[in-house]
Structure 1
Amino acid sequence: MGIEFITVAADSASLQFSWPDRRELRMSSSLPVESVPEAQRMGKEPATAAAVAYMRQHFPWARDAAVKAEPSGDMGDWHISWKKTAAGVLMPLRLDLVVDARGRIASFSSRDIPDPRLAPVLVDAAAARSIVMEAAAPASPNLGDPFLAALPVHDTWRPVWRFPVLGPATAGRETAIAMVDAETGKVMRGTPGS
């Protein structure tokens, strides 16, 4: 039996979790979004402090990951995320919290997965870019900056170069992802031209 997701909905929020492992958990508030005057909106530091306190209480396994705070939308919300890297590879552990303008946790998404053992990285970013361009020929995709991530492929974790494919119609925003196995150099499914 594989991993399935169970959803529990209530008046004020919905919760989704993976079963039977319970390693992935998502919550989103169903409360209406309130407009908060700009002068009364929570700033970056207090929003981060609220998120860190919530993390310590509910997700202590994320405490050693790097934390980052960014504005989320135009209503004064903050996206606070925890991610972990090892040897330059983004690991699967994640915690994302959205703190609303009043300082409440509006949503979260968590993935408590231990660092997997990975094959060695034998293909560098420049070689991976060349591999994607060759696979996409005769098209010439506009590739953004790549990053290395541990991704599940079949029943194992692999080091993978991920390139955002930027589209002209989207003002340079990501429209797709091109991926190359960082050990074998194999183009992965979903990459333009694959």
Structure 2
Amino acid sequence: MIRAIFDNESGLLWAILVTLAVSVGLAVAIARRRSAPPMLSALAGSFTALVLAATLYPIHPGAPAPLVCTVQRDLVGAMSSPQGLMNIALFVPAAFFTTLLVRRPVSAGVFLTLLSATVEAIQAVTPGVGRSCDTADLWNNALGAVVGCGLAFLLGRRRSGTTLVANRRDLARGSLALGGGIAVIAAATVPFVTVVPADATENTQAGPAQRAAAATAFHAFFGPNAEVTSVQYVRASFEQPGTVNVTGATGSLTLAWPSGEPVTGLVGPLPAQAPGDLTEDAAVASATRFAQAHFPWALAGSQTRTDPQPNSGGARTVQWRSRVDGVLMPMRLDMLVTGSGQVSSFSARHVDPPVLPKATVTEESARNAATAAHPGFAVTSAELLAQADRDGVWHPRWMLSMRRPEGQQPAALLVVRLDATTGAPVTT
């Protein structure tokens, strides 16, 4: 994820400049003590520092640690993508000048490959970085290191007075060092992350229509100059729609596919980053302005509810729900508003009110039926709502939560659904 380099982020540019200045100074100082060429030391140090600045700079300081590492099966597809080519190019100059400096191509390649593996591990477990661990990045970075080391080796062979060592002994030692280093990094990381297999070309690569929808939605939420850094498509499964996941330096969105409508998003600071003394009216006003701009369908004929969020810097949730003839409709819109009045995140479901048969089963009748069917349990809550069956036909249904009275063993919870027109239990 190095596209942030071109995202006009002054913080990243300053981080690169400071890192380069420090690394050049250290490299030259070390070179003088070890009688190494100062210019080569400065170049090798600066390009290695550039790698670290580009891959570890926090592009989303409020993001939690992902604790996920994606294992790509199609490395060729990942390598040929624009992101893959950028990752390859990033490591070529660092490998080239490091090889000329140490005169051992294998050692330089192993060092930079292990550096890339360490970076991926850090991205997986470190909060506030906003990056993702992906074996495709490791593969592409290692390939860039091989290209850079190879170019330096070829140059050394053509120039008199330059000797670069690359023999069988070096290859054997390098293989052992690489394998051992990867094993240590994996042992330190795998217990804390979930390893997710993925296919870079079939499972997560977005098509032109998905990328266009992602860019349109992202610009609508974050402004016309906001840059999209990643678009991934997850195919539909288990009767669920597909999703398009869009990320950038300013936030993230998830779109339902093929509708392209936003269903979730991180669009502002986390509550801990923007505390304040937010009143209920101010929270509703801020969330309503956001809804008018992005979810006008949620405001017609709906009711608003707000709830404070304990230990969240004064943040509040604002919810919109709609009822027709007492039946809770499937539409919903939830927003988290920080204590300073900024919308932090949202969750939305846009479904037009379905046409339903009249609900004839009263709440009292539903409670009595549930209690009779489950002796020893008491109804704790009941909600009349619209639900679709497997064929997509909507019905009014009672959803009742039940539990054993306190002190009775074994403690248990139940959720019972009853058809509100017939009173029959719903099991599917």
Which interval holds the TM-score relative to the shorter structure? 0.7 to 0.9
Aligned pairs (5 A) from 1:1-194: 3-23=241-261, 25-28=263-266, 33-34=271-272, 40-64=276-300, 65-75=302-312, 76-137=314-375, 140-154=376-390, 155-166=392-403, 168=406, 175-189=413-427
Does the aligned pair in 2 maintain the 1:24–1:112 contact within 8 Å?
A: no
Q: Which runs of 5+ in 2 are unaligned?
A: 1-235
Q: By how many angstroms is 1:95 displaced?
A: 0.8
Partners of 1:23 and 1:135 in 2: CA distance = 41
Structure 1 residues 122 and 5 mapped into 2: Cα distance closer, same or farther (>3 Å)? same
Q: Which amino acid aligns with 2:303?
A: A
Q: Quick one: percent identity of the two aligned structures?
A: 25
Say if 1:11 and 1:30, in contact at 8 Å, map to a contact too.
no
Q: TM-score, normalised by structure 2?
A: 0.39
Cα distance change, pair 88–33 in 1 and its aligned pair in 2 (3 A): closer
Q: Alpha-carbon deviation of 1:7?
A: 2.1
- Counterpart contact for 1:161–1:181, Cα < 8 Å: yes
What residue identity is the alignment partner of 1:52?
A: T
Q: Which amino acid aligns with 2:315?
A: D
Q: Deviations over 1:101-154 (max 9, x none)?
A: 1211111111111100112212111111122123223xx222123121001121
Displacement of 1:186: 1.7
User: In the alignment, is the contact (CA less than 8 A) between 2:333 and 2:349 conserved in 1?
Assistant: yes
Greater relative contact order (Cα 8 A, min sep 6): structure 1 or 2? 1
**Using the alignment, how far apart are the partners of 1:183 and 1:24 within structure 2?**
33
Alpha-carbon distance change, 143 to 149 in structure 1, aligned in 2, over 3 angstroms: same
Higher-Rg member (1/2): 2
- 2-structure distance, mates of 1:186, 1:23: 35
Q: CA deviation at 1:17?
A: 2.1
**Worse overlay, 2-11 or 105-114:** 2-11
Conserved? CA contact 2:271–2:339, under 8 Å: no
8 Å contact from structure 2 (residues 271, 344) kept in 1? no
Structure 2 CA distance for aligned equivalents of residues 86 and 121 of structure 1: 11
- Cα distance change of structure 1 residues 9 and 164 upon mapping to structure 2, 3 Å threshold: farther
Change (3 A) 1:54 1:36: closer
Query: Which digits, 9 at most, give the CA deviation of each residue in 1:62-121, with x for residues without a partner?
Result: 122111111123211111011110000011111111101121111111111110011221
The CA distance in 2 between the partners of 1:80 and 1:175, in whole Å, is 28
Q: Check the 8 A contact 1:8/1:16 in 2, yes or no.
A: yes
Distance 1:16 1:175, change over 3 A: farther
Q: Which stretches in structure 1 are left out of the alignment for 5+ residues?
A: none
Q: C-alpha distance in 2, partners of 1:14/1:62?
A: 21
Give the total of aligned pairs.
182
The answer on whether the counterparts of 1:72 and 1:79 sit within 8 Å (CA) in structure 2 is: yes
Deviation at 1:8, TM superposition (A): 2.3
Per the alignment, do residues 30 and 166 of structure 1 end up closer, same or farther by CA in structure 2, a change over 3 Å counting? farther
Query: Following superposition, which runs of at least 4 residues in structure 1 exceed 6 angstroms of deviation?
Result: none
Q: Helix, strand or coil for the counterpart of 1:128?
A: helix
- Gap change, CA 1:59 and 1:176, over 3 Å in 2: farther
Which structure features the higher share of helix residues? 2
TM-score, normalization by structure 1: 0.81
Answer with 79-88 or 103-112: which moved more.
103-112
Residue identity matched to 2:417: M
How far is 1:28 from its partner? 2.9
